Amino acid sequence: MQRDSLPPFDPAEAQEPPLVGEHAWGAPTQMSSELPGVPDHFQRLWTPYRMVYIQQGQMPDEEACPFCRAPELSDDQGLIVHRGETCFVLLNLFPYNTGHIMVCPYRHVGMYDQATTEEVAEMAVLTQTAMRVLSQVTRCQGFNIGLNQGRIAGAGIADHLHQHIVPRWSLDSNFFPIIAKTKALPILLEDMRRDIQAAWPA
């Protein structure tokens, strides 16, 4: 069909699908044409949980260590997936990738060479277990594993030792982190914690 033969577009004749269901929090869905603003061709990635990071920053008060606080909470509140003898495993509240977890000693110690032989040994065992569990749960293709020692080396919480275990997939990096300083995370933290904890060996 020739372009000139197409009938002119009439916005009044445009139809949208009917309303279906409700959002998880109970609010009915609403058509975009009924909302204020001028529509465009951009898609929005809404991440309201990031406001905690944006407004309050990453660093806690010097007197408040989140890695000391977490074991005092329930597993779901502390994002904990496993509690060991000298160390525990928890999700990163500000993950680089889905399934980004950390292994921490219970003891408030800042540097790897200050950890006891027992703490170092259990961190290694828990890291291996975490890799197996994450491979099963997320089907990742690789890992970044590391310790940032001291604030100058990039440690966000420099006074409490923690080892990062970050699942990686082919092409999991895109323009978001570079252009918009944003990571797209397809699974909510509470769902990821539940799945990892359920898969963790007894």
Phi, psi at 108, each rounded to 5°: -80, 90
**Which residues is 143 bridged to in the sheet?**
167
* Per-residue model confidence as pLDDT tens digits over 62-95: 567 999 999 999 999 999 999 999 999 999 988 8
Q: Is 82 a catalytic residue?
A: no
For the chain, what are the domain ranges? 60-199
Catalytic residue among 82, 160, 162, 164: 162
- Tell me the CATH number for domain 60-199: 3.30.428.10
The DSSP H or E segment spanning 143 is: strand 142-146
Higher per-residue confidence, 149 vs 175: 149
Per-residue confidence band for 34, with pLDDT thresholds at 50, 70 and 90: low
Beta bridge partner(s), residue 101 = 91, 165
Please, which residues have CB within 8 angstroms of residue 199's CB and are 6 or more apart in sequence? Answer: 133, 136, 137
> Residue 161 has what pLDDT?
93
